[in-house]
Amino acid sequence: GWMTRWRRLVRDYEKRIDVSHAMILVAMGGNLIRRNAHP
Give the pLDDT score at 10: 64
* pLDDT band of 36, cuts 50, 70, 90: confident
Give the pLDDT score at 23: 81
The residue extents of the domains of the chain are 2-37
Instruction: Judge whether residue 1 has pLDDT over 60.
Output: no
Q: Give, in order, the Cα–Cα distances in Å from 13 to each of 7, 16, 23, 36.
A: 10, 9, 11, 30
Please state whether the predicted TM-score (pTM) of the whole model is above 0.85. no
Q: Which among 9, 38, 36, 34 has a CA at the least distance from the CA of 23?
A: 9
3-33 residue pLDDT tens: 566 666 666 666 777 888 888 888 888 888 8
* pLDDT band of 2, cuts 50, 70, 90: low
